[in-house]
Amino acid sequence: MTRLGSTVIAITVAATAGCTLSACSDDTGGDIDAAVDAPVDVAIDTPDGPCGAGYQMTGEYIDWESPTLMGFDGVEDSVWTMTTPPNTSATTAPNGRVIICLPRETVRLTVTRTATTGPGPYVGAIFVADPAVLASSGASFSARGLRVAAADTSYGAIVSKMTFDATRAHVFVHKRGAPTAVTLGAQASYVSDGDNDTTWEAGASGTFVLFPNVPVGNGTATLGGTFTGPTSIPLQANTFTIVPIS
């Protein structure tokens, strides 16, 4: 009897261990474990990343006279706000970096830095964000901000005696990748080699292309050239229109 009892105990232990290791199923028609029938986690059905169905735009906003390698000066505390719902906004870091979630459609953002502390206020801007240019992996932009107090001096350094006309618009284009010619009707344009070059020369092909003192007209203008990005852009007096293209 002792040997029989040992055998029964051994069989019971073995059966229990087998179910533990192999997750025995229930063939009796009982309720299926609740975890199997629970709804799939919502996150599985939504796009990856912090912006859901949108994308995360990133770039730098640096002072007009700032080179990257020496004396770098980002425009901190500038506020970037979508002009349409949900009116998402972000503020630049001390190095001028901006990171913001945007929808996968072309939108506009206002860019303001009105604080009188530090370098003082900057000329306001309208930023035109096109996901075809900015939503791909690793994409970013670079743009320059112009201090109100230095506007005439900075424009005069481009062309002798040229001043910043607050009754007109100003267009700043950043060409990602290899430079290509960009035009804005018959407007004069000046180019820079990028964020480590603070000099400007007459031309239409560069990393940065500037169209200064543009008549506002009906409030819109058309960029010409072969590139990816917005072509119809807004114009507003005393305001930069910043347009990244690729």
The structure tokens listed for 90 are 């972000």
Residue 189 has pLDDT above 90, yes or no: yes
- One domain, residues 38 and 71: no
- One domain, residues 13 and 122: no
- Lowest model confidence (mean pLDDT) among 15-24, 159-168, 187-196: 15-24
Residue 68's pLDDT band, with cuts at 50, 70 and 90, is: low
Range of the domain at 34: 2-45
Tell me if 153 is assigned to some domain: yes
- One domain, residues 154 and 41: no
- One domain, residues 99 and 75: yes
- What is the total count of domains within the chain? 2
Q: Return all residues near 189 (Cβ < 8 A) that are at least 6 apart.
A: 182, 183, 202, 203, 204, 209, 210, 211
Q: Rg for the chain (alpha carbons), in Å?
A: 30
Residue 132's pLDDT band, with cuts at 50, 70 and 90, is: very high
- One domain, residues 135 and 17: no
Residue 31 has pLDDT above 50, yes or no: no
- One domain, residues 142 and 199: yes
- One domain, residues 90 and 15: no
Alpha-carbon gap, residue 75 to 194, rounded angstroms: 16
- One domain, residues 131 and 187: yes
Average pLDDT over residues 64-71: 69
- Nearest 5°: the CA angle 227, 181, 235 is 75
DSSP structure class, residue 43: G
What pLDDT was estimated at residue 71? 63
Tell me if 224 is assigned to some domain: yes
- One domain, residues 136 and 170: yes
pLDDT tens, 169-188? 999 999 999 999 999 999 99
Nearest in space to 142 (alpha carbons), one of 59, 241, 228, 240: 59
- One domain, residues 178 and 231: yes
Residue type present at position 47: P
Tell me if 94 is assigned to some domain: yes
Residue 42's pLDDT band, with cuts at 50, 70 and 90, is: very low
Tell me if 211 is assigned to some domain: yes
Residue 1 has pLDDT above 60, yes or no: no
What pLDDT was estimated at residue 196? 79
pTM recorded for the entire structure = 0.79
- One domain, residues 120 and 30: no
- One domain, residues 75 and 99: yes
Residue 203 has pLDDT above 50, yes or no: yes
> Given strand 190-192, what is the order of strands in its sheet?
89-91, 79-82, 107-112, 125-129, 240-245, 169-175, 208-214, 190-192, 201-202
